[in-house]
């Protein structure tokens, strides 16, 4: 069901160090990098970075280095950045997230968190200490991101725009049919109810078949309400997918349910999957109740 992505020329492995004052968005940036395929490590001791890189990178790597760690020093971080920039065959960037002191104070006040440099005192003290400590690191940064006016969503989008490789993490669509008797699948983003459509269960020649059979699919699609229902689902999904991709979402999960999870939901899921594949989306599908029936049958055969 999933077409092969187009091949892109081999790129050197990416290595990104993320730093900046606490509260400026380091965790959001690291999570965004992880979402686009980076191995992500938070609060990495500077002394462990060189041993970590003694073996070649097999995938992009992102590390957060900041004053929380006891071996942190500006001098050590600057020396490390110089060494990493000289590594052969590695694309290195030092990313510095900055934000004004008043905004950082407001953010800490809203979250009621303690500052890592002043855990027993006022957050303002730790924020002002970092402001005095980090200017040299800011001056060395390859990428400077001012998060003052950025929402977390906007910061993730900026990170993705800077570091996502083409086709590195193609948007995936997961389509799952299910029976309402056994509950809605956990974690689906969209759920559509097919129970109003004509039910093949009441046709003796179709009852034992499932929605993958052309005869069942034809019966379901012959319902005069089916085409309008299906086109609205397809239009909504096709409208959402580019926006989800732009946001950095890696998967959209769609559930289609009917009473038994055998006929109407399966036929609709098959048709939706085929339409999205035609649109060059990466689609996988699962028919939950058919899998359960097949597993039960296999178990009975082994008795």
Per-residue pLDDT averaged across 45-71, rounded? Answer: 88
**Last-in-domain residue among 112, 137, 163:** 163
- Measured CA to CA in angstroms, residue 64 lies from 61, 232, 276 at distances of 10, 44, 38
Q: Say which residues have a Cβ less than 8 Å from residue 270's Cβ, sequence separation at least 6.
A: 211, 212, 217, 285
Cα 59–Cα 60–Cα 62 angle in degrees, nearest 5: 135
Residue 109: give its domain's CATH number.
Answer: 3.40.50.300
122 with 75, same domain: the answer is yes
Q: What whole-number distance in Å separates Cα of residue 246 and Cα of residue 54? A: 35
Angle between helices 26-35 and 152-163 (to 10 degrees): 50
Tally of helices (H runs) and strands (E runs) in the chain: 11, 9
Structure tokens at 105: 């104070």
Per-residue pLDDT averaged across 128-138, rounded? Answer: 85
Residue 169's pLDDT band, with cuts at 50, 70 and 90, is low
* pLDDT digits 0-9 by tens, 258-301: 999 999 999 999 999 999 999 989 899 999 999 988 888 776 55
- Measured CA to CA in angstroms, residue 256 lies from 57, 82, 235, 241 at distances of 41, 54, 15, 17
Q: Which residue has the higher pLDDT, 189 or 118?
A: 189
Residue 277 counted as domain residue: yes
Q: Which domain holds residue 273?
A: 172-301
Residue ranges with strand state E in 20-154: 39-41, 61-64, 91-98, 143-146
129 with 210, same domain: the answer is no
Supply the pLDDT for residue 166. Answer: 55
* Average pLDDT over the chain, rounded to an integer: 86
pTM reported for the whole predicted model: 0.55
């Amino acid at each position: 069901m999933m077409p092969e992505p187009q091949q892109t020329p081999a790129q050197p492995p990416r290595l990104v160090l993320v730093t900046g004052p606490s509260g400026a968005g380091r965790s959001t940036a690291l999570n965004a990098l992880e979402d686009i395929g980076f191995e992500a490590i938070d609060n990495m001791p500077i002394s462990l970075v060189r041993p970590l890189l003694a073996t070649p990178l097999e995938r992009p790597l992102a590390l957060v280095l900041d004053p929380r760690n006891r071996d942190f020093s500006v001098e050590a971080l600057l020396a490390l950045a110089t060494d990493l920039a000289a590594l052969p065959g590695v694309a290195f960037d030092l990313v510095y997230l900055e934000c004004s002191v008043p905004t950082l104070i407001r953010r800490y006040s809203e979250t009621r968190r303690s500052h890592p440099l002043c855990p027993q005192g006022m957050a303002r003290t730790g924020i002002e200490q970092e402001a005095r400590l980090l200017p040299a690191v800011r001056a060395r940064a390859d990428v400077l991101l001012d998060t003052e006016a950025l929402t977390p969503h906007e910061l993730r989008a900026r990170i993705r725009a800077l570091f996502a490789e083409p086709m590195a993490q193609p948007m995936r669509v997961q389509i799952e049919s299910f029976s309402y008797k056994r509950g809605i699948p956990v974690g689906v983003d969209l759920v559509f109810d097919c129970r109003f459509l004509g039910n093949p269960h009441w046709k003796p020649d179709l009852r034992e078949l499932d929605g993958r059979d052309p005869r069942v699919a034809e019966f379901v699609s012959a319902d005069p309400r089916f085409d309008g229902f299906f086109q609205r689902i397809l239009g909504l999904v096709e409208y959402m997918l580019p926006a989800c991709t732009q946001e950095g979402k890696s998967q959209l999960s769609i559930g289609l349910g009917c009473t038994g999870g055998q006929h109407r939901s399966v036929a609709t899921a098959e048709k939706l999957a085929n339409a999205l594949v035609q649109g060059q989306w990466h689609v996988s599908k699962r028919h939950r109740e058919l899998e359960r029936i097949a597993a039960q049958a296999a178990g009975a055969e082994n008795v």
